[in-house]
Amino acid sequence: MWFKNLQVFRLPSALQIDVEELNAQLAKQAFSQCSSSEMQSQGWASPRDNDQLVHSVGRQLFLLLSTEKKLLPSSVINQVTKARAIELEEQQGFAPGRKAMKDLKERVTEELLPRAFGVKRSTWVWIDPEHGWLMIDSSSPGKADEVIKLLLKCTSKLALESLRVNMSPQAAMTDWLAGNEAPKGFIIDQDTELRSHTEDKATVRYVRHTIDPDDVQRHIAAGKQCTKLALTWNDRISFVLTETLTIKRIKPLDILDEDTDKRTSNEDERFDADFALMSAELSGLMDDLVFALGGEMPAAIAA
Q: Where are the domains of the chain?
A: 7-72+116-162, 74-114, 169-302
The pLDDT, as a whole number, for residue 300 is 47
Per-residue pLDDT, averaged over 279-300, amounts to 91
Higher pLDDT, 90 or 299: 90
CA neighbor of 173 nearest in space, from 80, 264, 165, 249: 165
> pLDDT averaged over the chain?
90
DSSP 229: E
Per-residue pLDDT, averaged over 204-209, amounts to 89
Task: Work out the pLDDT band at 288, boundaries 50, 70, 90.
Answer: very high
DSSP 90: H
> Could you tell me where the beta strands, DSSP code E, fall in 129-181?
133-136, 161-162
Distance CA 219, CA 174 (A): 10
Q: What per-residue string of b and e applies to 49-84 under the rule 16 or more CB within 10 Å gives b?
A: eeebbbbbbebbbbbbbbbbbbebeeeebeebbeeb
pLDDT in tens, 129-171: 989 999 999 999 999 999 999 999 998 778 889 999 999 999 9
Report the SS3 class of residue 182.
coil
Total-model pTM: 0.84
Which range (10-14, 50-54, 133-137, 215-219) has the least confidence?
A: 10-14
